[in-house]
Amino acid sequence: KLFSLGSHETENKLRFDMNKFQNGWKYSYGLDAQYVKYDADIFNTIKIESTDAAGNISPAQTLSSKSAIDFFKFGAYLQAAKYFFKDKFLISGGFRSDMNTFTTEGLNPLKSVSPRISFSYAINDEWNLSASIGSYYKLPVHTMLGYKDSTAALANKSLEYINAIHYTIGTQFIP
């Protein structure tokens, strides 16, 4: 056998979303919880057994790993939006924070605070201009979290959330 990979990811999710309208403002907020299970069984032949011209045998080199993890993820968000100038200009802003029970600092909600703000201007009934900026955090992929070192210990419990900062500007045409 040269290579074998079997893996499974399962996420069970529960979400609560609420939308309210008050004095021209739209408020959205919510909570979510997830139970995550991941397992992987990997076998890889790095080098096959070989024999040189003198009859010396170089043994095969293989890598074999099995891993299984399970943990909880939690999140909360809040967003507010309002139109101004006769419903031509929209401002929307909010933030989100996530936590998890797997990583070392996963239960610190300040490690993943993700603020964002966006603006949209209706030039006319068909054209809009928009711009936004946001900082987003994401837990590393399960393959990284479930990685075990040579002693079979989970090696990446100290991984931090991955951060991406997005800047967008664009137009929209709706005929």
Secondary structure, 3-state, the chain: CCEEEEEEEEEEEEEEEEEEEECCEEEEEEEEEEEEEEEEEEEEEEECCEECCCCCEECCEEEEEEEEEEEEEEEEEEEEEEEECCCCEEEEEEEEEEEECCCCCCCCHHHHCEEEEEEEEECCCCEEEEEEEEEEEECCCHHHHCCECCCCCECCCCCCCEEEEEEEEEEEECC
13-34 pLDDT tens trace:
999 999 999 999 999 999 999 9
What is the structure's pLDDT at 83?
95
106-135 pLDDT tens trace:
999 999 999 999 999 999 989 999 999 999
Question: Which candidate, 1, 69, 7, places its Cα nearest to that of 36?
Answer: 69
pTM for the structure as a whole: 0.75
| Average pLDDT taken over every residue of the chain | 92
Q: CB within 8 A of 54, min separation 6: which ones?
A: none
